A and B are shown apart, each in its own frame.
Chain A
C-alpha cells in the first residue's frame, strides 16, 4: 500500500520560505511523477508542480517562487515556496501521479494534507 505523509512547519512568517517534505512508503520516488497540490480555506484545489526522473514542471502562476527536489536515498521529495504571503495559507497535499501505460493523467495517492499558515 502506497502512503504519503507531509511534514514541515505549520506556521511561516510573511516573506519567508515555506518548506515541506513528503515521505513515501510502498513506492519509489526514483520512478513515477510526484507533486504538490494546495487548497486555500474555502477554495478549490490548485496544482503547484511535479518532479520526475527527467525534470520538473511548475504552475505558471507559482513558477518564479517554487523549488522542488527529490531525495531518493530517503524516499522523500520536497517543496520550497519563497516570499510567501497570506495568500499562500493553505492545506498542502503531496501526491503521486498514477503510473500507467496509457498516458492517463491523474492522481491516485495523496497525503493527508498539511495546513500551513502564513502569519507574523
Chain B
C-alpha cells in the first residue's frame, strides 16, 4: 500500500505570501491519480486539484499543482485570508482499488 507523506505538518505564513505544500509517495505513482483537497473546520473537504495539475471547476488560478513520480506539490501563489485551512493529498490505486490520503498540512496565519 502506498503511503503519502505531507510536509510540513504546519506552515505559518501571512496573506499575500506564497505557500508551497509537499506530498511525497512511498513509491512512484501515476500522477493521474493524485489529487489535493482543502478542508476547513466544520465543512466538507473541497476538491482543488486532480490529476496532479488540473484545477477543479471554479478554483482560482492562484492555486496550482505539479509533480510526478514520488514528489508532488500544491502552490498557492498569493495567500488570501480564506486559504488558511488544512490541505490533503490523495492517491488512488487500481490494484486493489484503494484510496489513501496524506496526513495533512495545516496552513495557518502567521
* B-binding residues in A (CB < 8 A): 37, 43-47, 50, 57, 59-60, 93, 98, 102-108, 110-113
Chain B residues with CB under 8 Å of A108's CB are: 47, 56
| A–B Cβ pairs within 8 angstroms, 10 of them | A44-B88, A44-B101, A45-B88, A45-B104, A46-B101, A60-B98, A104-B50, A105-B32, A108-B47, A112-B44
Interface centre among B44, B47, B50, B96 (most CB of A within 10 A): B44
* B50 adjacent to A98 (CB under 8 Å): yes
- For B33, the chain A residues whose CB sits under 8 A away are 104-105
Size of the B side of the interface (Cβ < 8 Å), in residues, is: 26
Chain B residues closer than 8 Å to A37, beta-carbon distance: 99
**Does B35 count as interface, using CB distance less than 8 angstroms?**
yes
**Chain A interface secondary structure, helix, strand, loop or mixed?**
loop
A57/B97 contact (C-beta < 8 A), A98-B50, A103-B32, A104-B51 known: yes
B8 on interface, CB distance cutoff 8 Å: no
Beyond known contacts A106-B92, A110-B44, A112-B43: 11 more, CB 8 A cutoff? A44-B103, A47-B98, A47-B100, A57-B96, A98-B50, A104-B35, A104-B54, A105-B99, A107-B35, A108-B56, A112-B44
Chain A residues in 8 Å Cβ range of B39 = 45
